[in-house]
Amino acid sequence: MKIHWSFPIQILLTLLIVGGIASVPFLRYGTREMIESAIAGALLATINVLLGYAAIAYAFNKSTTTFFKVVVGGMGIRLLLLAIALVVAIKVFELNVVALVGGMGVFYAIYLILEILYIQKKVNSKHQSS
């Protein structure tokens, strides 16, 4: 498994830029609880996409069957872990549900787009080198 740092760096930059933009209304109108909850949601989505990247990097040059087992199976496991983390964050840490899910949802959607573009870029480069 060869790590290409361009994708994790892209994720980090996205986290900083979108987080910076989102911080303006949160710092002005949000409570401390809302800010902490939104940050927790953003971090959950970030961990999720980095685990997805690790699965893609591991399985990309394997057979198609292995690739789909690792990526799709990993997606199911990651979604289950996200659901458990959300329940723990809400029930145990009593985080603000709207800010937590909102923060996670925004970053999840952005990261999903970046992940799809990353896979497409890898597939295109693989076909060009073949």
Measure CA 46 to chain center: 4
Q: Print the domain residue range for 72.
A: 33-120
| Count: domains in the chain | 1
The answer as to whether 27 is a domain residue is no
The answer as to whether 102 is a domain residue is yes
The answer as to whether 57 is a domain residue is yes
Positive or negative torsion for Cα 99, 103, 106, 112:
negative
The answer as to whether 38 is a domain residue is yes
Which pLDDT tens digits describe the chain residue by residue (130 residues)?
677 899 999 999 999 999 999 999 999 999 999 999 999 999 999 999 999 999 999 999 899 999 999 999 999 999 999 999 999 999 999 999 999 999 999 999 999 999 999 999 988 988 887 6
Question: How buried is residue 9: exposed, middle or buried, by Cβ count under 10 Å (0-12/13-18/19+)?
Answer: exposed
The answer as to whether 5 is a domain residue is no
What does the block give as tokens for 59?
């399985």
The answer as to whether 107 is a domain residue is yes
pTM above 0.75, yes or no: yes
